[in-house]
Structure 1
């Protein structure tokens, strides 16, 4: 039986790194190696993110047992993640895993999962291939610098002279009048300082206030949820931006299928692939079933976006459905037939 292989984002997500998860492997856990072959030209991934017609084997000294106990896991880096994320809309990848002593070997389909980021996306926190929170990163405007006001110095009061020893016959001497005058002067000086500060701050705000701008047309409002997934938006914004905003709008399954069909009809194949993969991997059985049928030879309706059948890919998505709904009779039947 073919192995099931998933390339999943780490927690926390790290651009250019992923977890290679293998299920149904019947061999050992140590001294393994794998090769990756793409479908459109049969080339194999090499160690420098290049492709060649000769198999290249990525060696893994040991796979760890997943917490569930049902899979093996190993971390991979940009040399594997980046080329798979850069694949075209119709790219599919086959992985072969084998023991380095040429013992047990098996094959399966591998594809980038939800949340993966290329190594060039350092600083981003969400995925582009199938994404959860797809809002584009916003660069904050620099905060306005507050100019320094002139430093004001308060006069330092001189210490009062120490009282002279009292004469033999104590005589009460009232405080001299000049002391009261000096306190009044200090209060007046503080008032002047406060006025100067208020004037300086007022002058700064006045300088920062822009002159009235000429009347211009108001900028177009941001796309609403209803506009995020329209054909007009698909034709006017970059593919990744459309996918991010449409996924964020969270249309229901039936509406998303309409959007995918519009994308196929208008030859936006990358949009169709990304929307399919995002919702199918998130556990939507209706979308996963429709995606499986795009590759199932029993249901295939050849189009520019999905020109040929692919049994392994169809089986992958039927198996995804069974992971959520083991009693799905149709998915189980098609999965078993495609394994023959």
Structure 2
């Protein structure tokens, strides 16, 4: 039966540090070594955090007894934690543990737990939030005296030339002619007749001078502006367009935030596989499978299960150990899942 290996966060959590917990190991707890291989390209983790096709063995002088009797633990640092966290979204990792004297050898799959932090994340956190180390000088900063700026005395403004006032025009007041007193009362009818004639003439003149009624100009036809083109609808967080325009991590975070159901997520994963976005497909599988979605975990296990495997660009070869890992993950949340238990037992070496 393969060993079960978990990568657990410390309490309190320390960036770049973790506990490597091994279950079902039947050998000694001292003088051991292990290698880690990723399934993406079958490369092995090296001591300088790179990956190579040559196995590299991390030596462990002694494992400590864990909280359970069948658990052995050892502390590991950034040389192992950082590379595993960096590739956990797109790869699975197989660990081989063996005794230095060439005795017992066993294999399993490394399972990074939730809450692990890389050493890079820890450094950024301190740089952004650690304000306690900033020292404030006790002596106030002395500002040197600045040389006084001498400005030239302003010249008196020239007095504006007074313009010779123009003589005000003399308005001649019309002479008021006093009406002459009528000499005789017989002139009154004549005056009235003249006034009537003047009134008639004035009325005729006003009628002739009446302006013609202007025909109102026709208003220009209203120009109907074309309707503004509707703004393009932003692509949804789980669409193929978003896969092409976002990074793998951003797409997975935004799509998972939409919480599609299992059937919809399987369609999204199928779209990612067809478009060659293998990292997105593997990240979506792993995220929901580790969160307890049994349907997604079954589908992910079948991608590696030799009995159900269908070769594709993203899952070129079957991997019995990886399939067993995901069947075991299903049993952790659904112990009565008969199919997962059957396949898990049949995949044991």
Shorter-chain TM-score: which interval? 0.5 to 0.7
What root-mean-square deviation, in Å, do the aligned CA atoms of Structure 1 and Structure 2 show?
Answer: 3.0
Distance 1:291 1:39, change over 3 A: closer
Asked if structure 2 preserves the Cα contact closer than 8 Å seen for 1:322 and 1:328, the reply is yes
Matched residue SS, 2:28: coil
Partner of 1:231: 240
Counterpart for residue 258 of structure 2: 249
Match of 1:307 in 2: 316
**Is the counterpart of residue 16 in structure 1 residue 16 in structure 2?**
yes
The 1-side partners of 2:315 and 2:8 are apart by 24
Contact 1:15 1:118 in 2 (8 A): yes
- Say which SS state the counterpart of residue 122 (structure 1) adopts: helix
The answer to whether the Cα contact below 8 Å between 2:89 and 2:286 also exists between their aligned partners in 1 is no
| Equivalent pair of 2:44/2:52 in contact (CA under 8 Å) | yes
| Structure 2 counterpart SS, 1:233 | helix
Q: 1:55 to 1:307 in 2, by over 3 A?
A: closer
Q: Is the 8 A contact 1:7 1:20 kept in 2?
A: yes
By how many angstroms is 1:315 displaced? 0.7
Deviates more, 1:70-79 or 1:261-270: 70-79
Is 1:121 aligned to 2:121, yes or no? yes
Post-superposition shift, 1:26? 0.9
Q: Structure 1's 289 and 97: CA in aligned 2 closer, same or farther, altered over 3 A?
A: same
Residue pair 1:114, 1:281 contacting (<8 A) in 2 also: no
Tell me which residue corresponds to 2:134.
none
- 1:26 — aligned with what? 26
Corresponding residue for 1:180?
none
Quote the offset at 1:61 in angstroms: 2.9
Q: For the structure 1 residues 284 and 69, does the alpha-carbon distance in structure 2 shift closer, same or farther, using more than 3 Å as the test? A: farther
Q: 1:106-255 to 2 correspondence within 5 Å?
A: 106-122=106-122, 227-255=236-264
Question: Deviations for 1:71-122, whole angstroms, at most 9, x for unmatched residues?
Answer: 2222211111222334497644321112334333211222544344432223
Structure 2: segments with no counterpart, 5+ residues: 129-230
Q: Distance in 2 between matches of 1:92 and 1:69?
A: 27
1:83 aligned residue: 83
Deviations 1:257-289 (A, max 9, x none): 222222212221111111111111122211111
The superposition leaves residues 182-202 of structure 1 with CA deviations (integer Å, 9 ceiling, x where unpaired) of: xxxxxxxxxxxxxxxxxxxxx
Unaligned stretches of 5+ residues in structure 1: 126-136, 138-218
- 1:317-332 matches, within 5 Å, as 317-332=326-341
**3-state SS in 1 of match to 2:347:** helix
Residues 9-45 of structure 1: per-residue CA shift (max 9 Å, x gap): 4455443233222121112333322112334554432
Which secondary structure does the structure 2 equivalent of 1:242 belong to? helix
Distance 2:311 2:338 in 1: 25
Note if 1:36 corresponds to 2:36. Answer: yes
Q: Which residue of 2 aligns with 1:266?
A: 275
Tell me if structure 1 keeps the 8 A contact 2:7–2:111.
Answer: yes
**2: CA distance between counterparts of 1:311 and 1:326?**
20
In structure 2, C-alpha distance between the alignment counterparts of 1:220 and 1:123, rounded to whole Å: 41
- Report the count of equivalent residues: 245
For 1:231 and 1:36, the matched residues in 2 are separated by 33
Separation in structure 1 between the aligned mates of residue 261 and residue 18 of structure 2, nearest angstrom: 29
TM-score (structure 1 length as normaliser): 0.63
Residue 75 of structure 2 aligns to a residue whose secondary structure is strand
